[in-house]
Structure 1
């Protein structure tokens, strides 16, 4: 009788394993990549927000905020996690000189 009780849980365990590898794990990987992208933002990067605004990073603040210039002389303050994509990355300053 114990064998049949364990056999009833095998499909449930397999379904959970499949869901983990098809849904949960890729989502966690995507979140880590997004977090790394947001942490590596620097002044001069051209970015797209989740709202569709395209702008250049003017200032990165410590309080999880950015100042974006969306047009000449027009700056907006956005939360770092709302950055969806980095269009062009600025090169790090060369300190060898």
Structure 2
């Protein structure tokens, strides 16, 4: 009889707070945040990096360039990871290929 009263009391008690599991809505929101982050930041940055890498690989002697430091010059020689850049008459410097910001020489179209 004591137990039946206890069971009756527990069956009428309001449900307690849910605990333990993470809501499905949380995972959906985190997925959407990651998708927006990828589309707005990661993907455009990868595209810019690919374009810059392609530009650096196609450098050749005679191209006029601007470095990321603002130095204007003409490429006199191309090595594996460096360029010989003529910035004035009788003034040549060596720079790394990755420091190229802009190529001023328009690319020649192949026929």
What's the TM-score bracket when you normalise by the shorter of the two chains?
0.7 to 0.9
Whole-Å Cα distance in 2 between the matches of residues 42 and 89 of structure 1? 12
> Tell me, what secondary structure is at the counterpart of 2:23?
helix
> Tell me, what secondary structure is at the counterpart of 2:104?
strand
More strand by share: 1
Aligned position for 2:34: 16
Higher relative contact order (CA 8 A, sep 6+): 1
Find out whether 1:70 has 2:87 as its counterpart. yes
Query: Which structure would you say has the larger Rg?
Result: 2
Count of residue pairs brought into register by the alignment: 90
- Structure 1 segments (4+ residues) deviating >3 Å: 89-92
1:90 Cα offset (Å): 6.5
1:91 Cα offset (Å): 4.7
Aligned position for 2:49: 31
Aligned position for 2:62: 44
Whole-Å Cα distance in 1 between the matches of residues 36 and 57 of structure 2? 32
1:60 Cα offset (Å): 0.1
- Structure 2: segments with no counterpart, 5+ residues: 1-17
TM-score (norm 2): 0.75
- Structure 1: segments with no counterpart, 5+ residues: 93-97
Q: Is the 8 A contact 1:65 1:79 kept in 2?
A: yes
1:89 Cα offset (Å): 4.0
Whole-Å Cα distance in 2 between the matches of residues 90 and 32 of structure 1? 17
